[in-house]
Homo-oligomer: A and B are copies of this chain.
Amino acid sequence: MPARLKSQNVARENGEQNRAVAICQKAARIFHERGYEATSVSDIAEAIGITKAGLYYYIESKEELLFRIISHGLDWLDTEVIEPARALTDAEERLRWIIRHHGQGLCKGSRVIPLLTEEVSSLSNKHRQQIIGRKRRYLEFVRATLDELKTQGKLRQIDTTVAAFGLFGMLLWLPRWYQTGGRLSAVQTIEHLLNLYLNGTMRPQNQKINRSA
């Protein structure tokens, strides 16, 4: 293929990808405002300003669109939080990274996508299992980090499953209450939550017990 045609193809593919992301974001807002069940494909097409047939060029069905929105949120989590965290060998540093980056992302990003991520019950069985599996792997990653800290004698007497879900609750509640442009910045808010969580789960420095010995 001539270079010019190839670059035109790439440009078109990028354009279509951007369009698909824009459709996800717009649809997420409408689903959130009106409720997923109450929203029709026509409603979404109208809000985006394209025909229903034009929308079906990008999506297979309303359910597939919801699946894509939720997957989009989890892709962000993988790329921006989980993958860089996996590269950190120190468990405490890893925990700090997870809280800071997931927390700040939840404050700064779209609040409708994280909220829709909870709507797994509207998905087909196949899609639901896939999303539940991805969430479960994130839980296991966080819990394994806490277990590592426990083995190092750095953790208080706390059940690591309860502690992992406690963290998810604290973080995933943010889109419900955090106000952009309010008294505290995203960074300040997350530092408060980080300190609360680390003081709540980890032994004070001078009480460190080496359990791996």
Binding site for B on A (CB under 8 A): 33-38, 118, 121-122, 156-159, 161-163, 165-166, 168-174, 176-177, 183-184, 188-189, 192-193, 195-201, 204
Which of B159, B165, B198, B204 makes the CB contact (< 8 A) with A173? B165
- Please, how many angstroms separate the alpha-carbon atoms of A199 and B166 in the complex? 14
Could you list some 24 contacts between A and B, CB below 8 A? A33-B121, A34-B37, A35-B36, A35-B121, A36-B37, A38-B38, A156-B195, A158-B192, A159-B184, A162-B192, A162-B196, A163-B192, A165-B174, A165-B177, A168-B173, A169-B169, A169-B171, A169-B174, A170-B170, A173-B173, A196-B200, A199-B199, A199-B200, A200-B200
Cβ of A174: which chain B residues have Cβ within 8 Å of it?
Answer: 165, 169
The copy count of this chain in the complex is 2
Main secondary structure of the interface of A (DSSP, over half): helix
Cβ of A161: which chain B residues have Cβ within 8 Å of it?
Answer: 183-184
Which of B177, B189, B201 makes the CB contact (< 8 A) with A196? B201
Which of B35, B157, B159, B200 makes the CB contact (< 8 A) with A35? B35
Nearest to A159 among chain B residues (CB) is: B192
A196-B35 CB under 8 A given contacts A168-B173, A172-B173, A173-B169? no
Nearest to A177 among chain B residues (CB) is: B165
Cβ of A197: which chain B residues have Cβ within 8 Å of it?
Answer: 196, 200
Cβ of A158: which chain B residues have Cβ within 8 Å of it?
Answer: 192, 195-196
